[in-house]
């Protein structure tokens, strides 16, 4: 079964074709991230206009995989969809309304014109299915249940219990800022600009001798609320530290690198420790990591080393870097395993779609 999946929740415009939930037939991503840089954050109006500009060419390119390039001039996109696609999946939320609307209305139109079933998808839940996909099936066959799944993106930090590839239960999430937001806000404070997680990672990697370990808070690690997260206190501590560095003329490249290192340590400590608490509590047989922040190399390494130290020899799954950040391949995988077709008339962009299932 081939699903044509469309993603447009934020500043990425993506289309993919996924076979039987696991094999990526094609995947195309266009991003407007660079256009937001000078504003210090995503400008919804710009993101929506770029979605509009990129949506059809992105879908066209994803479908090109079926175009034999023959001299058959009658090979239209509609014909390719009719012949090769069994269903259309689309992100309906959570996300920015202007961006979501472009993908949702495009998918509805395709379903309307071709008569294909339309599957609405929750973007945050779909992230975890990036672990199931690849050019030859990702890790799907190797995932053992029950699994603990941590989704860490720009807007969400959520823990789930997966008892099968279909059954999910929300265990906890962030009470305020998401981990990705903490990375992004720190990057802005330190002058790295938008899309800051990668910049923090790179600045931290240049530090050979960490000078300020454990100087920032590890929020909610001792909390009774053991499976929830909170990153706003950390953000305030970072702001205070940056102000202090500026007023004492210590805002040097080395000091910025040292602070980046400690910020990355603080965030990753919390993410790893809480996930392991959940894994022990629910006797998990594997751990799944996903979302944009799962591209962080230190986080990936810390999961491996902490599991070893905790003598918890359960498999740890994390998608390849290019499948961590937003794309449409995992939207297609989620639709296959967990989606239900809905009449296109009843599919609506839902910016505040709940992630608590
Ligand atoms: O999942 P995603 O692409 O979009 C949302 O659904 O939000 O996640 C984007 C987030 C941003 O906060 C970005 O800074 C973060 O993922 N990110 C990283 C890294 N790569 C992306 N954070 C830390 N280290 C990285 N290497
Ligand atoms: Zn995302």
Chain segment 21-68, per-residue pLDDT in tens? 999 999 999 999 999 988 888 999 999 999 999 999 999 999 999 987
Cα-to-centroid distance, 141 and ligand 2 (Å) = 24
Chain segment 185-206, per-residue pLDDT in tens? 999 999 997 668 999 999 999 9
Report the pocket of ligand 1 as residue ranges, CB < 6 Å: 10, 153-155, 180, 183-184, 195-198, 201, 291-293, 295-296, 325-326
pTM more than 0.85 = yes
Residue located nearest, by CA, to atom 8 of ligand 1: 292
Half-sphere exposure at residue 207, Cβ-oriented, CA atoms within 13 angstroms:
24
The answer to whether 96 touches 10, Cβ cutoff 8 Å, is yes
Give the number of whichever ligand sits closest to the CA of residue 205: 1
pLDDT tens, the chain, 357 aa long: 999 999 999 999 999 999 999 999 999 999 999 999 888 889 999 999 999 999 999 999 999 999 877 655 556 898 999 999 999 999 999 999 999 999 999 999 999 999 999 999 999 999 999 999 998 878 899 999 999 999 999 999 999 999 999 999 999 999 999 999 999 999 999 999 766 899 999 999 999 999 988 899 998 887 778 999 999 999 999 999 999 999 998 899 999 999 999 999 999 999 999 999 999 999 999 999 999 999 999 999 999 999 999 888 999 999 999 999 999 999 999 999 999 999 999 999 999 999 999
Cα-to-centroid distance, 196 and ligand 2 (Å) = 15
The answer to whether 231 touches 277, Cβ cutoff 8 Å, is no
| DSSP one-letter string for 8-54 | -SSSEEEEEEEETTTEEEEEEEEE-HHHHGGGTS--HHHHHHHHHHH
Round to the nearest angstrom and report the end-to-end CA distance of the chain. Answer: 26
């Amino acid at each position: 079964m081939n699903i044509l999946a469309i993603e447009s929740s934020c500043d990425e415009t993506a289309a993919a074709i996924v076979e039987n939930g696991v094999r990526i037939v094609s995947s195309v991503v266009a991003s407007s991230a660079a256009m937001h840089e000078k504003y210090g954050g995503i400008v919804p109006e710009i993101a929506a206009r770029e979605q509009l500009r990129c949506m059809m060419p992105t879908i066209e390119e994803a479908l090109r995989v079926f175009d034999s390039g023959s001299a058959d001039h009658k090979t239209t996109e509609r014909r390719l969809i009719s012949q090769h696609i069994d269903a259309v999946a689309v992100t309906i939320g959570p996300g920015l309304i202007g961006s979501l609307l472009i993908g949702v209305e495009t998918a509805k139109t395709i379903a309307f014109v071709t008569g294909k079933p339309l599957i609405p998808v929750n973007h945050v839940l779909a992230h975890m299915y990036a672990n199931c996909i690849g050019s030859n099936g990702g890790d799907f066959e190797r995932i053992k249940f029950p699994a603990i799944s941590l989704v860490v993106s720009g807007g969400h930090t959520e823990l789930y219990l997966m008892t099968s590839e279909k059954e999910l239960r929300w265990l906890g999430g962030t009470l305020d800022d998401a981990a990705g937001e903490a990375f992004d806000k720190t990057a802005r404070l330190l002058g790295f600009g938008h899309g800051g997680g990668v910049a923090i990672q790179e600045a931290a990697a240049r530090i050979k001798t960490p000078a300020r370990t454990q100087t920032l808070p590890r929020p909610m690690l001792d909390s009774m609320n053991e499976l929830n997260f909170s990153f706003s206190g950390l953000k305030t501590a970072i702001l205070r530290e940056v102000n202090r560095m500026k007023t004492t003329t210590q805002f040097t490249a080395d000091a910025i690198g040292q602070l980046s290192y400690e910020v990355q340590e603080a965030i990753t400590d919390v993410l790893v420790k809480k996930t392991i608490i959940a894994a022990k509590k629910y006797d998990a047989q594997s751990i799944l990591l996903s979302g944009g922040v799962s591209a962080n190399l230190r986080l990936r390494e810390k999961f491996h080393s902490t599991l070893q130290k905790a003598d918890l020899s359960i498999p740890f799954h994390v998608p390849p870097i290019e499948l961590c950040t937003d794309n449409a391949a995992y939207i297609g995988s989620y639709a296959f395993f967990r989606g239900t077709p809905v009449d296109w008339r009843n599919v609506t962009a839902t910016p505040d779609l709940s992630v608590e299932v």
